[in-house]
Copies of this chain bind each other. A is one copy, B any other.
Amino acid sequence: MNFTIAPSDPTPIYRQIVDQVRRLIAGRVLVQGQEMPSVRALAQEHAINPMTVSKAYSLLEAEGLLERRRGIGMLVAINQTRHGSAEPEDLLRPSLQAAAQQAKQLGLSPRAALRLYEACLKQTHQEETP
């Protein structure tokens, strides 16, 4: 899986997993019917407790994004109609709205804030290419 766990991040680990899986599904990186990595595998890969992964998967199942197949594992849910998985823009907007309010409180002009975001985007995309 191409996502990261930051133990230093104050947001709980299970929440980091939930958020990222949600985004990867919205972005079609994870496609419908695809098998998710097993609880134990993911736990070992990131050196965390299997129950933590399990909790994240359970929440995603309750949300309708994952489906449990008895004895098989978890799959990305097939009936991804309209509920649950939202448009990518809708998942990104809250972060950007918060960042917009912060820019205003910091007295930064919209232009300066945009330039800064552009730099961050460029950096993030460069990490992947090489």
Interface residues of A (CB under 8 A from B): 2-4, 7, 10-13, 15, 20, 23-24, 26-29, 49, 59, 62, 70-71, 88-89, 91-93, 95-108, 110, 112-114, 116-118, 120-125, 128
Among B4, B12, B27, B117, point to the contact of A99 (Cβ < 8 A): B117
Contact assessment for A70 and B12 in the assembled complex, using a CB-CB cutoff below 8 Å: yes
Nearest chain B CB to A116 CB, angstrom units = 6
- Number of this chain's copies in the assembly equals 4
List 16 A-B residue pairs with CB atoms under 8 Å apart, sorted by A's residue number: A4-B101, A23-B102, A26-B107, A27-B107, A27-B108, A62-B62, A89-B112, A96-B116, A97-B123, A99-B120, A100-B124, A103-B121, A110-B118, A110-B122, A113-B121, A117-B117
